[in-house]
C-alpha cells in the first residue's frame, strides 16, 4: 500500500514503540547534504536512541546516525551531527508547549521517501513504565499465539 502512494520506507524506530506511548504523529522534512541523501538511499541510517529538541524556535533531530557515503571523500559530514527538521513555525511552537507543560518527548519513528523528498515521521510520546512494557510484551505474545492457533484451524479444515 505504501509503495502505491509513492512512499518508500527506509527505516523504522521499533525501540520507540517499545519505550513510549505514541499519542500523535507529525511529518517533517529534514535538512541534509548530498552525500547524506545518497547514504540514506542505500539504507545507511539508524534512528535508535534518537530524539528531537526545540532550540531557538527550530526543531532539531539529535542522535540520528547517517553512515558516511563510501564514495563521498571530503564531502561527507559527521555521522551523528544534529539535523534540522523542517516544519511550520506554528507546529513547532505547539510541540514545544506540549513538551514543556505535559512532559512529552518528540521521537523520530520512521524515515521514508515521499516522492523525491525525504521525510521523517516524528511522534509526540509519553514514556512507558516497566509494567507497561511487560503488558505490551504479554499482549503481543498472546496475539501471536491466537494467530498461530487460528492458522492451524484453517489448515485442518
Distance of CA 86 to the CA centre of its chain: 15
Which domain, by its residues, includes 36?
7-128
Looking at residue 4, its pLDDT comes to 55
DSSP bridge partners of 35: none
Residue partners of 53: CB distance under 8 A and separation at least 6: 59, 60, 62, 106
pLDDT by residue (tens digit) across 81-136? 888 899 999 998 888 888 888 878 889 999 898 888 889 999 988 887 777 778 88
Quote the mean pLDDT of the chain: 83
The 10 Å Cβ neighbour count of residue 144 is: 10
The answer to the question of residue 35 being in a domain is yes
The answer to the question of residue 133 being in a domain is no
CATH number at residue 31: 2.40.280.10
Coil, strand or helix: which one is 112?
A: strand
The more confidently predicted of residues 130 and 7 is 7
Amino acid at each position: 500500500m505504501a509503495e502505491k502512494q509513492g512512499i518508500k520506507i527506509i527505516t523504522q524506530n521499533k525501540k520507540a514503540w517499545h519505550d513510549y506511548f505514541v499519542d500523535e504523529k507529525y511529518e517533517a522534512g529534514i535538512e541534509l547534504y548530498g552525500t547524506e541523501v545518497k547514504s540514506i538511499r542505500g539504507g545507511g541510517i539508524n534512528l535508535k536512541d534518537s530524539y528531537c529538541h526545540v532550540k531557538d524556535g527550530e526543531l532539531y533531530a539529535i542522535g540520528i546516525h547517517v553512515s558516511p557515503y563510501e564514495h563521498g571523500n571530503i564531502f561527507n559530514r559527521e555521522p551523528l551531527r544534529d539535523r534540522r527538521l523542517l516544519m511550520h513555525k506554528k507546529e513547532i511552537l505547539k510541540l514545544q508547549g506540549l513538551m514543556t507543560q505535559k512532559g512529552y518527548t518528540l521521537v523520530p519513528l520512521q524515515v521514508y521517501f515521499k516522492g523525491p523528498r525525504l521525510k521523517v515521521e516524528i511522534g509526540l510520546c509519553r514514556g512507558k513504565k516497566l509494567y507497561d512494557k511487560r503488558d505490551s510484551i504479554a499482549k503481543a505474545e498472546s496475539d501471536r499465539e491466537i494467530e498461530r492457533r487460528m492458522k492451524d484451524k484453517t489448515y485442518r479444515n
